[in-house]
Structure 1
Amino acid sequence: MKIKHQGTARVKRAQLQRLRKTFETLEMRFGEGVAGYFVRLMEFTNDMRNCGEGMDDVKIVEKLLRSLTENFNFLVCSIEESKEIDRITVDELKRHYKSMKVRSLREEVKNKSNKWKMNQGMVEEEEDGTIREEETTLEDEGEADPL
């Protein structure tokens, strides 16, 4: 029984070494989203934990932040400036990313809407970059009230 257990421990140790190497060399792929990369990272993390490796949130957060592509520098800078890296949890990091993504999408929709309105002549951009909506009436458009 003791010999059988030693073999299992040896296999587990070898597997853990392989997982450590993969974890350390793991990087975000070009075109991969943060959510997809996060899932891949957590799969390795969970496998390492199952083999007995102590993986705390700080190590995972640091790995995630240092291995994101340059497209996500805004996210890394934002988290490094607003949070203490030693105290942020993996769940907080996910929430922070999701809230930034929602804000970014709202801003993108707003910009597209303003661009469309500008193309339609409904708004004008001021010199300071603000958008001013023009007030239009039916008479301005050359249509008179039929009644």
Structure 2
Amino acid sequence: MASENFVQAAIPRFDGHYDHWSMLMENFLGSKEYWQVVVDGIPEPAEGTSVSDAQKAEAQEAKLKDLKANNYLFQEIERSILETILSEDTSKQIWDSMKKKYQGSTRSKRKQLQAFRLEFKTFRMKSGESVIDYFSRVMIVVNKMRIHGDKSNEVTIVEKILRTMKPKFNFVVCSIEESHDIDLLSIDELQSSLMIHEQNITQQEKEEVALSALTDDRSGGQGYNRGNGRGRGRGRGNSAYHGNRQQLQDHDNQGRGKGRGGNNSKLWDKFKV
């Protein structure tokens, strides 16, 4: 049987940003099946009670997991910080100490959450912004809200995005609302659907621009060919004007030859264009 190669996941290193680090570390320890012991600690039997063999085995397993969780925490917390928490014995005690030191006060978190909620409330899709860029901008703030305790569900975010798309997406939004149950529509599904429609809109706009340019080229060429005289109609008008003027001059010359002189204003008015 061929051996499988496993890649060891990197342990999240604490860089001072507690909320981000704690989220990554929780996921990492959970993947190792050590997170429960960090949350609950090592079970201790009550004084004066007898302990069964099964309970002893459970406690022993919890202590082993606790040691392994401690090992990961020690590897990714700087020495200067560890020196302030070395009095803590279990992974739960270390975790709780880090949380108190770096998570910040409840009042500070509440203010930050209010600021993120206000930013989320005022979100609108910008002119020229793509669907993927808008979703990215929205989700950055949504994740910050969640880190600070916000419990907004997915349908709230979906409805917010649908309400704040650019006007050219109005017919797409109506189509999505009519053909989907918004309560069951995920953010990823909404993004995928809007991106497909965006590609169709972009393609249609390109075709319209190309067609407009082709129409302009054709009408421009016909205008130029119409008589080397800025248009066929205008060319005919100029020819008629010069022909009539020549007739007037000939008539005038004939008049002079017959000695009748030169008041040809009525005849001139007759031939003017």
Task: Tell me if both proteins adopt one fold, taking TM over 0.5 as the criterion.
Answer: yes
Give the aligned partner of residue 71 of structure 1. 168
Match for residue 54 of structure 1 among 151, 167, 175: 151
Matched-pair identity in %: 41
CA distance in 2, matches of 1:87, 1:105: 28
| More RCO (CA 8 Å, sep 6+) | 1
Report which of the two structures shows the higher radius of gyration computed on alpha carbons: 2
- Deviations 1:2-60 (CA, angstroms, capped at 9, x unpaired): x9799621111110011111111111122222221111111110100111111221011
Q: Is residue 2:102 matched to residue 1:28? A: no
Single out whichever of 104-113 and 37-46 deviates more from structure 2.
104-113
Size of the aligned set, in residue pairs, is 120
Specify every segment of 5 or more residues in structure 2 that has no aligned partner in the other structure, as ranges. 1-99, 216-273
The structure whose residues are more often helix, as a share, is 2
Judged with a 3 Å threshold, the aligned counterparts in structure 2 of structure 1 residues 13 and 115 are, in CA distance, closer, same or farther, namely closer
CA distance in 1, matches of 2:137, 2:177: 23
With normalisation by structure 1, the TM-score equals 0.65
CA distance in 1, matches of 2:102, 2:203: 56
Specify every segment of 5 or more residues in structure 1 that has no aligned partner in the other structure, as ranges. 119-147
- What RMSD over aligned residues (CA atoms) do the two structures have, in Å? 3.0
CA distance in 2, matches of 1:117, 1:29: 31
CA distance in 1, matches of 2:157, 2:209: 36
- Deviations 1:92-127 (CA, angstroms, capped at 9, x unpaired): 101111222344456567778889999xxxxxxxxx
Q: Is residue 2:188 matched to residue 1:91? A: yes
Question: SS at the partner of 2:149?
Answer: coil
With normalisation by structure 2, the TM-score equals 0.37
The structure whose residues are more often strand, as a share, is 1
CA distance in 1, matches of 2:104, 2:115: 17
